[in-house]
């Protein structure tokens, strides 16, 4: 009979550790988790899986109107609408999905063809600041009616030089919601 080699012993230990880890993980599935046993054939579509794991975006113009989007976004309040004072430069967007646990980011969307001043000439913008956050959190209380919800984000986009506490000159913005 042959003696066991070091490599055979180590390989056997590795197999037991790997199987033990899988068994441990299988017994520690979080409460309310979806498992393969709870998914019936055909109950989840490709669309369900894609939407849950998809990075989504919305492009908004200087007035907070949606120019382009990946789907599901709707502007619900802008300065001077929905009983929101004209002096409040924030824009509120319903994302169509709960934002808890999702990342938000925003950036100024450059443009060089839009006449924002009304003088018939393009007013290019290549810089600015964007602030974005989810409504209904411990740090953000959104005031216009219907905005303080978990599926609503608030953003403010301004060209350079505008004070964060002033209305300033609004800018186009891309907002991204990550899975």
Map out the domains of the chain as residue ranges: 6-38, 47-177
Alpha helices in the chain (DSSP H): 6-27, 46-52
Over residues 118-176, the pLDDT tens digits come to 899 998 888 888 999 999 999 999 999 999 999 999 999 887 765 655 556 788 999 99
Q: What's the CA gap between 162 and 63, in Å, rounded?
A: 16
Question: Predicted confidence band at 8 (pLDDT cuts at 50, 70, 90)?
Answer: confident
Over residues 62-80, the pLDDT tens digits come to 999 999 999 999 999 999 9
Within 32-123, strands assigned E span 56-60, 66-69, 74-77, 91-94, 104-108
Q: What's the CA gap between 82 and 84, in Å, rounded?
A: 5
**What confidence score (pLDDT) does residue 165 get?**
54
């Amino acid at each position: 009979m042959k003696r066991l080699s070091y490599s055979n012993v180590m390989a056997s230990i590795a197999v037991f550790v790997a199987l033990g880890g899988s068994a441990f993980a299988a017994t520690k599935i979080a409460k309310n988790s979806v498992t393969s046993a709870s998914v019936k054939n055909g109950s989840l579509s490709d669309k369900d899986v894609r939407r849950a794991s998809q990075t989504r975006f919305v492009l908004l113009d200087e007035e907070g109107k949606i120019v382009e989007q990946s789907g599901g976004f709707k502007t619900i309040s802008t300065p001077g609408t929905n009983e929101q004072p004209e002096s409040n430069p924030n824009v509120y967007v319903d994302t169509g999905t709960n934002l808890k646990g999702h990342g938000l980011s925003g950036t100024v969307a450059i443009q060089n063809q839009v006449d924002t001043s009304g003088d018939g000439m393009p007013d290019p913008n290549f810089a600015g600041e964007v602030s974005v956050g989810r409504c209904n959190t411990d740090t953000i209380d959104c005031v216009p009616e219907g905005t303080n919800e978990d599926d609503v984000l608030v953003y403010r986009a301004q060209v350079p030089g505008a004070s964060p506490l002033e209305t300033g000159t609004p800018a186009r913005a891309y907002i991204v919601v990550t899975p």
